[in-house]
C-alpha cells in the first residue's frame, strides 16, 4: 500500500522500547513484600479493569525493569492478541507479568501511545496481525514478531486530531454501553419484584399465588433422535439453545448423535453440569429452530398439556435464577463428578414454584419482554456504532481520508 503523503512507514522497533513482563513463579508468589501487577485479564480495549489485582514480589532491579509509567501502552501477548490500553498511573506502584508487552515511546514527538492503541484496534483480528501471531499451541504475539510490525505514522499534529475524532466515537459507544447495562439492571429489578409477587398489578391484587410442584406442570422428554437431525445444540446465556456451530464456530459433538435427545421448538433443557456463572447448571428453551439434538447430559422437558403455565413466564423464571436455591440444595445432597451435577429427573421435578393465574403470568411476561426488546434494539445500535468506528478507523488510519490540521 502506498504511504500517504507526509506520513512515514515505521516498525514497532523503530518507535518503542518493547519489554515483556515478569514470569510468575512460586517463589515470587510466596516471597516477601507483595506488589500488585497486571495480568492479561486486567487489560481491556482502551481501559484497565483493576477490580482484582494479583500480587507477587519484585526485587529492586525488577521494579525498575517492570515498572509502569504514565503513557506506557500495555499490549496482550495472548488471549485476544493485541488488546491494549494506555497506562495513566491508575495505581502506583504497579507492575506487569510476562503475558503482556509494555511499549514505551522512544520519542514522544514521533508517535503518541493513543495513536498506537487506535492502530492496534484497527488491525485486531485481521490478517495483518494474524501473520505475526504464533499458533504452535495457544495463539500469542512474540516480542520478536511484534517488533517487525509496520505502522503508517502521520505527523504528530495529525495524530492528535485523529485521536480526538476516534475518541468522540468511543464516547458515544461508552454511553450507549452504559445505558444497556442500566436497562439490564432495571430488568433484573423488575424480575425480582414481579416474579416473586412483591409487586402486583392492581387488577390481580386480590388473587393468591398457588404453590405447585414442577412434576404437576412439567414432564420429561426422552425422545430419541430418530429423524437423523444433526443440529447439535448448546446453551447460550442470551439466546437459549443455539446451534453449536454458531457458539463455537464449529460442531464440538461427536460424529454419531443417534443416541442424543431430539428437542422440539419451545421445549426446555436443563444442563446437568456446573460452569462459571452457572454453578448449579442452566436451563434454556429452544426458540430459534424447529428441532435440534442434545446429549443425554441434558434433562429435556416440556409444559404438560393444559397446565396453567405460560412458557415465556417459565423462561423468565429460569433466566432470573429463581430455582437456584433449590438446585443448590439438591447439589449439596448429591455428588459431583468432574463438574457434573448428580441431579436426577425425579429430583429436578421435586422442586416447586409459586404460580399466579395465567392472565397475571402473561401480564408480567409482557413487561419483561418489552424490556428485552428495548435492550435488543440498543444492542443492535451499539453494534452499528462499533461498525461505524471500524470503518472510520480503516479510512483514517490508512490515510485514505485525511483530516485538516
Does residue 145 share a domain with residue 87?
yes
Examine residue 109 and state whether it is found in any structural domain, yes or no: yes
Q: What is the CATH number of the domain that holds 380?
A: 1.10.287.1120
Does residue 346 share a domain with residue 381?
no
Does residue 239 share a domain with residue 181?
no
Does residue 262 share a domain with residue 340?
yes
In whole angstroms, how far apart are CA 65 and each of 96, 102, 336?
10, 10, 46
Last residue of a domain, one of 355, 380, 396: 355
Does residue 142 share a domain with residue 33?
yes
Last residue of a domain, one of 337, 355, 373: 355
3-state secondary structure of 171: helix
Examine residue 2 and state whether it is found in any structural domain, yes or no: no
Domain count, the chain: 3
Q: Do residues 9 and 101 lie in contact, with contact meaning Cβ atoms separated by under 8 Å?
A: no
Grid cell at residue 181:
447495562
Q: How far apart are CA 13 and CA 143, in angstroms?
A: 10
Does residue 121 share a domain with residue 83?
yes
Does residue 275 share a domain with residue 236?
yes
* Structure confidence at residue 267 (pLDDT): 97
Phi, psi for residue 279 in degrees, rounded to 5: -65, -20
pLDDT in tens, 17-47: 999 999 988 888 887 899 999 999 999 999 9
Grid cell at residue 209:
399465588
* Structure confidence at residue 262 (pLDDT): 95
Q: Which residue has the higher pLDDT, 137 or 169?
A: 169
* Structure confidence at residue 40 (pLDDT): 94
Q: How far apart are CA 107 and CA 242, in angstroms?
A: 50
Examine residue 369 and state whether it is found in any structural domain, yes or no: yes
Q: What is the CATH number of the domain that holds 43?
A: 3.90.220.20
pLDDT in tens, 45-81: 999 999 999 999 999 999 999 999 999 999 999 889 9
- The model carries a pTM of 0.81
Give Rg (Cα) of the chain. Answer: 27
pLDDT in tens, 219-242: 999 999 988 898 999 888 777 899
Extended beta strands in 237-310, E state: 240-243, 261-264, 268-271, 282-285, 291-294, 298-303
- Domain encompassing residue 391: 158-202+357-405
Examine residue 133 and state whether it is found in any structural domain, yes or no: yes
Q: How far apart are CA 283 and CA 277, in angstroms?
A: 13
% of the chain exceeding 70 in pLDDT: 95
Does residue 235 share a domain with residue 114?
no
Does residue 61 share a domain with residue 128?
yes
Examine residue 1 and state whether it is found in any structural domain, yes or no: no
Phi, psi for residue 275 in degrees, rounded to 5: -155, 170
Q: How far apart are CA 28 and CA 295, in angstroms?
A: 44
**What's the length of the chain?**
405
pLDDT above 70 (res 83): yes
Grid cell at residue 187:
430488568
Examine residue 308 and state whether it is found in any structural domain, yes or no: yes
Amino acid at each position: 500500500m502506498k504511504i500517504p503523503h507526509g506520513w512515514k512507514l515505521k516498525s514497532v522497533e523503530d518507535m518503542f522500547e518493547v519489554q515483556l513482563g515478569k514470569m510468575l513463579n512460586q517463589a515470587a508468589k510466596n516471597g516477601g513484600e507483595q506488589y500488585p501487577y497486571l495480568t492479561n485479564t486486567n487489560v481491556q480495549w482502551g481501559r484497565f479493569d483493576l477490580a482484582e489485582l494479583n500480587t507477587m514480589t519484585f526485587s529492586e532491579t525488577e521494579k525498575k525493569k517492570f515498572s509502569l509509567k504514565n503513557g506506557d501502552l500495555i499490549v496482550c501477548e495472548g488471549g485476544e492478541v493485541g488488546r491494549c490500553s494506555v497506562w495513566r498511573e491508575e495505581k502506583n506502584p504497579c507492575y506487569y507479568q510476562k503475558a503482556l508487552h509494555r511499549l514505551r515511546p522512544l520519542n514522544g514527538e514521533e508517535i503518541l501511545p493513543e495513536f498506537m492503541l487506535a492502530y492496534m484496534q484497527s488491525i485486531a483480528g485481521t490478517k495483518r496481525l494474524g501473520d505475526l501471531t504464533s499458533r504452535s499451541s495457544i495463539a500469542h504475539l512474540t516480542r520478536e514478531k511484534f517488533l517487525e510490525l509496520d505502522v503508517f505514522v502521520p505527523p504528530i499534529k495529525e495524530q492528535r486530531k485523529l485521536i480526538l475524532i476516534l475518541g468522540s466515537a468511543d464516547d458515544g459507544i461508552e454511553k450507549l454501553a452504559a445505558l444497556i447495562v442500566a436497562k439490564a439492571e432495571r430488568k433484573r429489578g423488575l424480575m425480582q419484584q414481579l416474579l416473586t409477587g412483591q409487586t402486583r398489578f392492581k387488577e390481580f391484587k386480590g388473587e393468591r399465588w398457588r404453590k405447585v410442584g414442577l412434576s404437576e406442570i412439567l414432564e420429561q422428554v426422552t425422545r430419541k433422535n430418530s429423524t437423523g437431525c444433526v443440529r447439535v445444540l448448546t446453551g447460550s446465556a442470551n439466546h437459549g439453545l443455539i446451534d453449536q456451530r454458531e457458539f463455537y464456530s464449529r460442531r464440538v459433538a461427536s460424529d454419531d448423535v443417534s443416541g442424543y435427545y431430539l428437542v422440539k421448538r419451545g421445549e426446555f433443557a436443563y444442563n446437568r453440569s456446573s460452569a462459571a456463572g452457572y454453578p448449579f447448571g442452566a436451563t434454556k428453551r429452544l426458540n430459534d429452530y424447529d428441532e435440534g439434538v442434545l446429549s443425554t447430559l441434558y434433562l429435556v422437558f416440556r409444559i404438560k398439556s393444559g397446565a396453567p403455565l405460560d412458557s415465556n413466564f417459565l423462561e423468565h423464571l429460569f433466566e432470573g435464577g429463581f430455582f437456584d436455591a433449590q438446585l443448590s440444595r439438591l447439589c449439596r445432597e448429591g455428588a459431583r463428578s468432574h463438574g457434573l451435577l448428580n441431579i436426577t429427573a425425579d429430583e429436578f421435578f421435586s422442586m416447586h414454584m409459586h404460580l399466579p393465574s395465567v392472565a397475571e403470568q402473561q401480564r408480567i411476561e409482557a413487561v419483561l419482554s418489552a424490556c428485552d426488546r428495548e435492550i435488543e434494539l440498543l444492542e443492535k445500535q451499539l453494534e452499528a456504532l462499533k461498525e461505524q468506528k471500524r470503518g472510520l478507523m480503516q479510512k483514517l488510519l490508512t490515510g485514505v481520508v485525511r483530516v485538516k490540521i
